[in-house]
Amino acid sequence: MCGIVGYVGNRRVVPILLEGLRRLEYRGYDSAGLVYHLNNRLVRYRAKGKLANLEAVVDEHVGAASSTGLGHTRWATHGAPTEDNAHPHTDCSGDLVVVHNGILENYSALKAELQAKGHLFTSETDTEVLAHLIEDALTDDLVAAVREALSRVEGSYAVGVLWAGRPDLLVAARNQSPLVMGVTEDACFIASDIPALLPYTREVIFLDDRELVVLGKGEYTILQVDDGAKLVKPVTTIDWNAAMAEKAGYRHFMLKEIFEQPQAILNTISGRIIADTGVVDLPEIGLDHQALKAVERIALVACGTSWHAALVAKYWIEKWAGIPVEVDIASEFRYRHLLVNERVLTIAISQSGETADTLAGIRRATQLGSKVLTICNVVGSTMTREADGVLYTHAGPEIGVASTKAFTCQLTALFLLTLYLGQLRGTIDPATRRYLGGGLIDIAGVINAELPRLQEEIRDLIERYYDARDFLFVGRGLNFPIALEGALKLKEISYIHAEGYAAGELKHGPIALIDRDMPVVALVPKDSTYLKSVSNIEEIKARQGRLVLVGTAGDTHLTSLTEDVLYLPEVLEDLNPLLYTIPAQLLAYEIAHRRGCDVDQPRNLAKSVTVE
Ligand code: F6R
């Protein structure tokens, strides 16, 4: 939800800002803009639409003598995606600029007040209020004026501010929107996310809520927004590198990330399970063993694809660790009457660790006395700092807006956690643990072996389906959440309407949709619910539904039901969700690509949803 980037140093700033924006574009692509200091003036460029439109007006010679600047890529909240609403926004004089990610909730009242004082506004955004508030408070102390302005606003912000009067300074601050600083010997950076910093530094400092930083060339001061007290914060070294956030020859990040899954899953498993025994060790989890043993209930909280991972985990944890599990969509969890207390373990699942609703959910759970574990991909993200314990997924940076490898790594981490809880509570015997652990270790190899063939078969298959108007996905048990995930992947990147259903639920309504134009993707491994699923498929066939079946190699019955069958090798029933996700992802990817959609940056979406 908007990306901001800033630099103060000795290098040419414009290429650094453009590279940073390129790496943050997944956060929003409604408009882009940048500003830099030159000869005691601020020079601003903005363009509606994708970053390419800004790049078309900012050539490599622009601002060659400048080494301080800010950039922004927008996901529109207040005001249409126009050039006037693009950041950076200025005060009346044009000598002060602001970039912002977040929502200033009391902006209307502040705007009216500032207009009454004679301030002239040129956009419909909430952000512009901040530029005028700072202008109003500014004499010659920029930091004091920014603090004063921030004391007036309510809501979320990660902001960067430049003033023509102090070409040596960049001021930034955060409250409820992510902001990370990068440091080198002679330069300082700010960014909404780590990938923007990776070409320059892996040494970062995560800012917390209501903290402000004053950046100079290789020096910085961190202060509390509220009382101006100085803070000393630790520098963290990130173990990602710049190449991990590149396409590496793939057509899209999403395709690269689909193919990275075997390695990413291995990274998530690495060092956490002993192959011969299936014993799981999660030393970094940070939660007391006795407390974990005594947990009476687990509340799983997440959004979107991460919520689908939670739905799978419910089946696993209840079956193997014997703990009752509730699964909530975070935007519901945060506002409903919660029966959560110190005997409940809350587990928040999030790729980014910044999703506003999930973050609010863990804050509520903490208030109610629950311990919070977060399963997260981004080291140092807000959720990982606020939770009592963290289990990292180690998927590496995920840039494609549609989540792929983060999901299968969440499943992997959740399966490890299931084994761990079962082991702690004595609900899994050693032989079963070895068997399940062995299956998990093998799954990456199985996916690796199947990926190229599946992609080829799916490319042929989608020629018959890519122009469909609607799709249904069905599955039972552990594969029901994968049906939901398949439908979500397809709709978000191809704009085809798609729904996922528990196969047994079709006849309670949705079967009315089936006709000869309705493709139905059914996930039917030879598992304990196989015969029931086949009956449901017969019901679809009897109503002329166009079936695409995904099932177990050697199951010839499937080819008697339809010519469109994708076969997968037999793996442990519990691990089918990891394997059956792969064709669902590839199907969505190939259809979206065939339809000419912008796979990595689908319309209206942004990767990290830091607003409610
Ligand atoms: C879909 C997708 C989203 C995210 C959701 C939660 O492909 O990526 O549904 O899963 O916005 O994001 P995180 O996991 O970062 O909390």
For the chain (612 residues), the mean pLDDT of every run of 10, in chain order, is 94 95 90 95 96 90 90 91 96 97 93 97 96 97 98 95 94 94 96 94 95 93 97 91 81 95 94 93 89 95 98 98 98 94 97 95 97 93 94 92 97 98 95 96 96 97 97 97 98 97 93 94 97 94 95 97 97 98 98 95 81 74
The model's pTM:
0.86
Among 434, 415, 442, 439, smallest CA distance to 274 is for 434
Break the chain down into helix, strand, coil percent, rounded to 5.
Answer: 40, 25, 35
Q: Which of 570, 572, 510 is nearest to 543 (CA)?
A: 510
Enzyme catalytic residues = 2, 607
Predicted local confidence at residue 130, as pLDDT: 98
Local structure of 135: helix, strand or coil: helix
pLDDT value at residue 249: 84
Q: Which helix (H) or strand (E) holds 143?
A: helix 142-150
Q: For residue 389, give the 3-state DSSP assignment.
A: strand
Q: Are strands 96-101 and 89-90 parallel, antiparallel or unpaired?
A: antiparallel
Query: Are 601 and 252 in contact, with CB atoms under 8 Å apart?
Result: no
Nearest CA to ligand 1 atom 5: 304
Q: Please work out whether the CB of residue 377 comes within 6 Å of at least one atom of ligand 1.
A: no
Centroid of chain to Cα 536: 34
Q: What is the pLDDT of residue 408?
A: 98
CATH number for the region 465-594 comes to 3.40.50.10490
Residue type, 482: I
Instruction: Give the number of residues written for the chain.
Output: 612
Among the listed residues 389, 382, 390, 342, the one whose alpha carbon sits nearest the alpha carbon of residue 366: 342
User: Contact, 394 vs 270, CB < 8 A?
Assistant: yes
CATH 3.40.50.10490 domain span(s) along the chain: 253-450, 465-594
- What is the pLDDT, as a whole number, of residue 283? 84
Is the distance from the beta carbon of residue 303 to the nearest atom of ligand 1 less than 6 Å? yes
Instruction: Quote the pLDDT of residue 245.
Output: 77
Query: Which CA distances in Å does 72 have to 37, 188, 208?
Result: 16, 17, 20
Q: Which fold has domain 253-450?
A: Rossmann fold (3.40.50)
Closest residue CA from atom 7 of ligand 1: 402
Among the atoms of ligand 1, which is closest to the Cα of residue 401?
8
Q: Which of helix, strand or coil describes residue 47? A: strand
Task: Kindly give the pairing relationship between strand 41-48 and strand 236-237.
Answer: unpaired
pLDDT at 608: 74
3-state secondary structure of 225: coil
Tell me which architecture the domain covering 2-243 has in CATH. 4-Layer Sandwich (3.60)
Q: Using a 6 Å cutoff on CB, does residue 393 contact ligand 1?
A: no
Residue-wise pLDDT for 120-136, tens only, equals 999 999 999 999 999 99
Provide the pLDDT for residue 241: 79
CA 346/CA 325 separation, integer angstroms = 10
